[in-house]
């Protein structure tokens, strides 16, 4: 492991993993307590439409993808706030439509294209330093927003009806939360891929939320779990020459299943 | 004295379906009012209008001498707990502190004064020892009390409870209605419920809603109220028999149809 750390690509990979863990730990905790995992999956997949759009028209990829994903997340948010009984259907439609749009646009774009695999799994071992700076900036913005509106996010997440009655601007906060999901997902997909983003948004916050006594502590514990999974996964990937993103997810999933099974067994033994 | 709540000719409809029609209601300070109505009767809509969450399509609404949206912070609101999240990572104290939330408060921490008020509110519902517990570790009845402490922490002049009986702890020694009755010495209380038995607790007045609203300044259901809620039934129909028995028990012999 120590010799691996002497490589610059490995140092960058670790930095990327830590930054992605901080962003996903904070945003993921909000996603999990608000029960919008499906919605976040929808936002993340729709992003591929933005990638296709950027390549087809030759626009700069990052701003175009962020704009497209933000728009999609706000549409999903508006639908959620208005017709709560049709939400899952409409998210499913946008999810599929966004991916299909991306693939069609990339198909008819002449020349060399990004392939679907790199969108899905990313390449954490090939992160340039410039991307690390972008991610660091993102983490600072997320931290600032969540610290500033922490109490309002907390009330909104716990009890929307009560929050509205207290005059807390629930709709604005909800859309702000989805925008943060959209922007972070796009930024982090570039680095670690769509599948790893969804795994980091859900598994560490779930494990962190079981015993945490506040949303803030849940976020901190989720970041810690996430960093542990990333470092272990990267080490396994280096040792056994396995795709890094998949190996990080495998690590998290095994840990997730192990903890749940142990808990069940302890419950049975005690009963 | 200025009424706490004044509704004049209030109407509301969803997709052209009238939900409330020409509703008039005046709640005086110190009242303990039960608003009763079957499911879908418009009682939740009525409550949301009082809270400023919905705007009446016509008529006048005045709460605590102002527009509902401007006074929302002076109303203690106890929402129905159907979508309560027991796995939410939060302590009892933090839930109570939410009662101090409003739009212009930003930041991470609560100050010592806020915490003192939360402790006092928890003491009011006899839950002061459980402040550090996670909310999911509590029983249904205890959670109900925490939610009431959350409504009380900001020192409201009006307490509004939506279907509160649904979560009462059957083994609890804490008598919920006794508690509300004590609280009523300082605060005007409105309880919204589908359960007509609430009339037999310590309420002072009753309103029945089913699109229209009938008010009785005494805690009694009149025959018109029963008809408003359940319609006209023949003696031979099971609902008719029940209604007959009910009105006899309440002291209003029902006229033969």
Which residues of A fall within a CB distance of 8 Å from B146? none
The stretch A118-133 carries a mean pLDDT of 82
Domain that holds residue A21: 2-270
- Identity of the residue in A147, A166, A209 whose CB atom sits nearest the CB atom of B102: A166
| Among chain A residues, CA nearest to B52 | A165
| pLDDT reading at A251 higher than 90 | yes
Q: What is the CATH number of the domain that holds A104?
A: 1.10.3470.10
C-alpha to C-alpha distance for B63 and B188, rounded to whole angstroms: 12
pLDDT the model gives residue B76: 92
Predicted ipTM of the assembly: 0.83
Length of chain A: 271
C-alpha to C-alpha distance for A98 and A52, rounded to whole angstroms: 9
pLDDT the model gives residue B14: 86
| pLDDT reading at A117 higher than 80 | no
| Among chain A residues, CA nearest to B49 | A165
Give me the number of domains chain A comprises. 1
Mutate to test the interface with B, among A35, A155, A157 (most CBs of B within 10 A): A155
Window 187-216 of B, Cβ < 8 Å to A: none
A228/A87: higher pLDDT: A228
C-alpha A31: how far from its chain's center?
9
* pLDDT-flagged residues of chain B (< 70): 82-83, 103-108, 165-174, 233-236, 244, 247-257
Window 201-220 of A, Cβ < 8 Å to B: 209-218
**Mean residue pLDDT across chain A:** 89
CB count, 10 Å around CB of A55?
20
Which residue, B257, B80, B247, is CA-closest to B160?
B80
Mutate to test the interface with A, among B67, B85, B95, B101 (most CBs of A within 10 A): B101
Mutate to test the interface with A, among B89, B155, B158 (most CBs of A within 10 A): B89
B53 lies within 8 A of chain A by CB: yes
Structure tokens at B146: 């925490």
Instruction: Say how many CA atoms lie within 13 Å of B20 toward its Cβ.
Output: 30
Whether residue A148 and residue B106 make contact (CB cut-off 8 A), yes or no, is yes
The stretch A201-219 carries a mean pLDDT of 94
C-alpha to C-alpha distance for A61 and A46, rounded to whole angstroms: 14
- Name which of A97-106, A111-120, A141-150, A175-184 the model is least confident about: A111-120
pLDDT the model gives residue B257: 44
- Residue A21: pLDDT band (50, 70, 90) is very high
B72 lies within 8 A of chain A by CB: yes
Q: What angle do CA A5, A9, A10 make, to 5 degrees?
A: 30
Task: For chain B, list the domains and their CATH numbers.
Answer: 5-220 (3.40.50.300), 221-257 (no CATH)
């Amino acid at each position: 492991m120590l010799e691996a750390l002497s490589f610059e690509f490995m140092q960058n990979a670790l930095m990327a993993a830590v930054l992605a863990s901080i962003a996903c730990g904070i945003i993921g905790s909000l996603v999990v307590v608000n029960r919008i995992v499906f919605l976040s999956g929808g936002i993340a997949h729709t992003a591929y439409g933005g990638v296709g759009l950027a390549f087809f028209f030759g626009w700069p990829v990052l701003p175009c993808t962020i704009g497209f994903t933000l728009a999609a997340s706000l549409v999903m948010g508006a639908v959620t706030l208005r017709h709560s009984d049709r939400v899952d259907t409409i998210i499913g439609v946008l999810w599929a439509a966004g991916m299909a749009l991306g693939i069609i646009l990339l198909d008819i774009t002449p020349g060399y294209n990004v392939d679907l695999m790199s969108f899905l799994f990313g390449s954490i071992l090939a992160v340039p330093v410039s991307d690390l700076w972008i991610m660091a900036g993102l983490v600072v913005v997320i931290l600032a927003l969540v610290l500033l509106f922490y109490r309002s996010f907390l009330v909104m997440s716990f009890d929307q009806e009560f929050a509205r009655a207290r005059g807390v601007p629930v709709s604005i906060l909800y859309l702000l939360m989805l925008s943060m999901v959209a922007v972070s997902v796009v930024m982090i997909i570039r680095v670690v891929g769509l599948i790893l983003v969804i795994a980091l948004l859900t598994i560490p916050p779930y494990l962190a939320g079981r015993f945490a006594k506040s949303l803030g502590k849940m976020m901190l514990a989720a970041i810690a779990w996430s960093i542990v999974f990333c470092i272990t996964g990267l080490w396994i990937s280096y040792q056994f020459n396995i795709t890094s993103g998949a190996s990080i997810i495998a690590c998290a999933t095994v840990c997730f299943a192990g903890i749940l099974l142990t808990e069940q067994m302890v419950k049975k033994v005690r009963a | 004295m200025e009424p706490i709540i004044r509704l004049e000719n209030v109407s509301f409809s969803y997709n052209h379906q009238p939900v409330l029609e020409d509703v008039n209601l005046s709640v005086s300070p110190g009242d303990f009012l039960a608003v009763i109505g079957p499911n879908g009767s418009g009682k939740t809509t009525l409550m949301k209008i009082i809270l400023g969450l919905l705007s009446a399509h016509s008529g006048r609404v005045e709460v605590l001498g102002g527009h509902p949206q401007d006074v929302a912070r002076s109303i203690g609101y106890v929402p129905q707990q159907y979508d309560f999240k027991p796995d939410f990572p939060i302590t009892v104290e933090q839930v109570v502190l939410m009662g101090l939330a409003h739009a212009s408060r930003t930041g991470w921490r609560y100050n010592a004064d806020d915490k003192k008020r939360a402790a006092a509110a928890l003491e009011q519902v006899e839950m002061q020892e459980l402040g550090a517990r996670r909310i999911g570790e509590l029983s249904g009845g205890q959670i109900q009390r925490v939610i009431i402490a959350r409504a009380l922490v900001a020192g409201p002049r009006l307490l509004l409870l939506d279907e509160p009986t649904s979560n009462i702890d059957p083994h609890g020694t804490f008598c919920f209605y006794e508690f509300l009755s004590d609280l009523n010495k300082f605060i005007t209380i409105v309880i919204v419920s589908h359960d007509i038995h609430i009339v037999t607790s310590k309420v002072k007045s009753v309103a029945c809603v089913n699109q229209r609203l009938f008010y009785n300044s005494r805690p009694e259901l009149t025959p018109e109220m029963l008809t408003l809620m359940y319609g006209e039934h023949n003696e031979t129909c099971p609902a008719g028999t029940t209604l007959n028995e009910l009105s006899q028990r309440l002291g209003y012999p029902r006229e033969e149809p």
